[in-house]
């Protein structure tokens, strides 16, 4: 089993996000160490375009067998393209599964990694995604028009009880599992695991980063 951690240099909302420190350790270092402790993987690969990230990744036990090309390091490059590129560089097409773990997944649970692997094998699926349910029903979404005005996107849900509304889920951004042979297929069999509400948080902006820092340093 191979774990690929895509960690490019650029980040729009948080500059050098993957190198931000919590407990005096870069985010990517936390993630690499969690993945190592799982003992699932024969190799942990960091796909990066940044020499500084590469140096930290090596120091924490990951491999950097190649430097990612600039045309695969832009804002609109998909995860699948990065995975295909890594697998090609590694000549690892014969490995049945490749995990993709994001470098900011510092609250990742080893138990969930193992649960995901068990699920994709048990269901003989081609792809597994991690999901979380929305904290508040999206049916009651509000659109802010300006400093004084807002509107409900669907007024029919205003009077309904929360427990009566259908549950919706979103991509948790924790990890993904790909059956290697299916990466180039258009039609694949998909599956998922649902993460507990307070078990994992993705880091998208400064507010998320501050929140994760408080969790890890017990400073609430």
Q: Is the pLDDT of residue 11 over 80?
A: no
Q: Is the dihedral of CA 81, 92, 43, 198 positive or negative?
A: positive
| Residue with the larger pLDDT of the pair 87 and 140 | 87
Residue 8 lies in a domain: yes
Residue 155 lies in a domain: no
* 3-class secondary structure per residue, the chain: CEEEEECCCCCCCCCCHHHCEECCEEHHHHHHHHHHHHCCCCEEEEECCCHHHHHHHHHCCCECCCCCCHHHCCCCCCHHHHHHHHHHHHCCCCCCEEEEECCCCCCCCHHHHHHHHHHHHHCCCCEEEEEEECCCCHHHCEEECCCCCEEECCHHHCCCCHHHCCCCEEEEEEEEEEEHHHCCCCCCCEEEEECCCCCCCCCCCHHHHHHHHHHHHCCC
Mean pLDDT score of the chain, rounded to an integer? 91
The model's pTM is 0.90
Q: Which residue has the tokens 């069999």?
A: 189
**198-211, pLDDT tens digit by residue?**
778 888 888 988 98
- Please name which of 102, 127, 104 lies closest in space to residue 193, comparing C-alpha atoms: 127
Measured CA to CA, the distance from residue 147 to residue 217 in angstroms comes to 36
Residue 61 lies in a domain: yes
Residue 146 lies in a domain: no
How much is the pLDDT for 35?
A: 97
Residue 136 lies in a domain: no
Average pLDDT of the segment spanning 143-153: 91
How much is the pLDDT for 215?
A: 86
Average pLDDT of the segment spanning 35-62: 96
Average pLDDT of the segment spanning 73-87: 90
How much is the pLDDT for 209?
A: 86
Residue 191 lies in a domain: yes
**84-96, pLDDT tens digit by residue?**
999 999 999 999 9
Q: Is the pLDDT of residue 122 over 80?
A: yes
**Domain, as residue range, for 58:** 2-131+173-217
Report the domain count for the chain: 1
- Please name which of 211, 208, 202 lies closest in space to residue 104, comparing C-alpha atoms: 202
Return the ∠ at Cα 82 (arms to 21 and 129), rounded to 5°. 80
Residue 161 lies in a domain: no
How much is the pLDDT for 220?
A: 60
Q: Give the confidence band of 162 by pLDDT, cuts at 50, 70, 90.
A: confident
Measured CA to CA, the distance from residue 29 to residue 22 in angstroms comes to 10
C-alpha 162 chain-centroid distance: 28
Residue 106 lies in a domain: yes
The CATH number for 56's domain is: 3.90.550.10
How much is the pLDDT for 101?
A: 97
């Amino acid at each position: 089993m191979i774990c690929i951690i895509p960690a490019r240099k650029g980040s729009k909302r948080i500059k050098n996000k993957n190198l931000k420190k919590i407990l005096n350790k870069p985010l990517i270092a936390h993630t690499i160490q969690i993945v190592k402790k799982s003992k699932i993987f024969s190799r942990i690969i960091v796909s990066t375009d940044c020499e500084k990230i590469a140096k930290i990744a090596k120091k924490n036990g990951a491999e950097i067998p190649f430097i990612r090309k600039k045309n695969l390091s832009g804002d609109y490059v998909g995860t699948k393209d990065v995975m295909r590129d890594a697998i090609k560089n590694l000549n690892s097409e014969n490995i049945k599964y490749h995990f993709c773990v994001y470098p900011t997944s510092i609250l990742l649970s080893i138990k969930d990694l193992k649960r995901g692997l068990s699920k994709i094998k048990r269901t003989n699926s081609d792809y597994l995604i991690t999901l979380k349910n929305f904290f508040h029903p999206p049916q009651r979404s509000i659109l802010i028009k300006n400093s004084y005005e807002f509107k409900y996107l669907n007024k029919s849900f205003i009077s309904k009880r929360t427990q009566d509304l259908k549950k919706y889920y979103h991509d948790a951004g924790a990890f993904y599992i790909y059956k290697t042979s299916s990466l180039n297929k258009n039609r694949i069999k998909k599956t998922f695991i649902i993460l507990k509400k307070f078990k994992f948080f993705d880091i998208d902006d400064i507010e998320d980063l501050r929140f994760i820092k408080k969790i890890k340093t017990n400073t609430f």
